[in-house]
């Protein structure tokens, strides 16, 4: 199974931002950022999660979903044994990066932005890619406790800028989840920063300004 995605090209750019949406989102979730975020000469590629949300419980037990809403997607689902399916979506993402992204862009010119469940994708797969990326930016995310991963950052990405962001009033995913991820990445010797900002489960413009600096520095 191949991932669906949207691409928004900006001129003849040789750089790309891969924006990975959260639970209940889709390939249009980051469209407002594509249209409004002022980053010069860079393409946007927006992949869509493969599973309908009715295949996976919501991040927050108080949330609900429509069984018939095909626009709401998830990057994982809970298996009958109670564990989260991780390997299956990683296989699809691996194919997507190898057959689409790395065929068109040098890995050093690829930046990955992930929000909420999309940030978990960054922790579970993106940082472990065995190619040096331009930057990885997980926002409002968490580690899957049953993934079994010991080291999350590949040798190729030890020096890759990783900037974690999280709202200090987030009631969907507590900020401690990102702090735990930050601590683990520090212990691995990763080039990681942590930025907390006022607000809830959202992306802060102040945070985005920091990642723009990393992208435009090249």
pLDDT digits (tens, 9 = 90+) for 76-129: 988 888 888 889 999 999 999 999 999 999 999 999 999 999 999 999 999 999
Task: Answer with the residue of higher pLDDT: 218 or 182.
Answer: 182
The whole-model pTM stands at 0.91
- The pLDDT of 54-74, averaged and rounded, is 60
Residue 144 structure tokens: 């899957």
Q: What residue numbers bound the domain in which 37 lies?
A: 5-216
> Is residue 129 within 8 Å of 156, Cβ to Cβ?
yes
DSSP state of 90: H
What is the gyration radius of the CA atoms in the chain, in angstroms? 16
pLDDT at 62: 43
133-174: pLDDT as tens digits: 999 999 999 998 766 667 899 999 999 999 999 999 999 999
Number of Cβ within 10 Å of residue 189's Cβ equals 11
Q: Where residue 56 falls among pLDDT bands split at 50, 70, 90?
A: low
Q: Residue 142 maps to which CATH number? A: 3.40.50.1820
Q: Which residues of 64-84 are buried (b: 16+ CB within 10 A; e: fewer)?
A: ebeeeeeebbbbbbeeeeeeb
Helix (H) or strand (E) holding 113, with range, is strand 110-115
Closest among 163, 157, 117, 156 to 137, alpha carbons compared: 163
Per the structure, the count of domains in the chain is 1
Q: Where residue 75 falls among pLDDT bands split at 50, 70, 90?
A: very high
Residue 32 structure tokens: 């407002």
pLDDT at 18: 98
């Amino acid at each position: 199974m191949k991932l669906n995605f949207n691409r928004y090209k900006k001129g003849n750019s040789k750089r790309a931002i891969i924006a990975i949406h959260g639970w209940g989102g889709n390939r249009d979730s980051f469209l407002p950022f594509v249209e409004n975020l002022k980053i010069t000469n860079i393409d946007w590629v927006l992949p869509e999660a493969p599973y309908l949300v009715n295949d996976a419980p919501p991040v927050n037990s108080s949330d609900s979903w429509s069984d018939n809403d095909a626009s709401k997607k998830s990057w994982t689902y809970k298996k009958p044994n109670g564990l989260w399916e991780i390997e299956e979506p990683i296989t699809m993402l691996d194919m997507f990066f190898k057959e689409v992204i790395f065929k068109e862009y040098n890995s050093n010119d690829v930046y990955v932005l992930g929000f909420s469940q999309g940030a978990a994708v960054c922790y579970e797969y993106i940082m472990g890619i065995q190619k040096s990326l331009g930057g990885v930016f997980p926002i409002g995310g968490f580690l899957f406790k049953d993934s079994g991963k010991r080291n999350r950052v590949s040798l190729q990405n030890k020096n890759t800028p990783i900037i974690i962001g999280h709202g200090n009033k987030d009631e969907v995913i507590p900020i401690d989840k990102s702090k735990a991820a930050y601590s683990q990445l520090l212990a691995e010797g990763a080039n990681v920063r942590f930025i907390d900002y006022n607000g809830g489960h959202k992306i802060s413009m102040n945070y985005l300004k920091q990642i723009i600096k990393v992208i435009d520095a090249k």
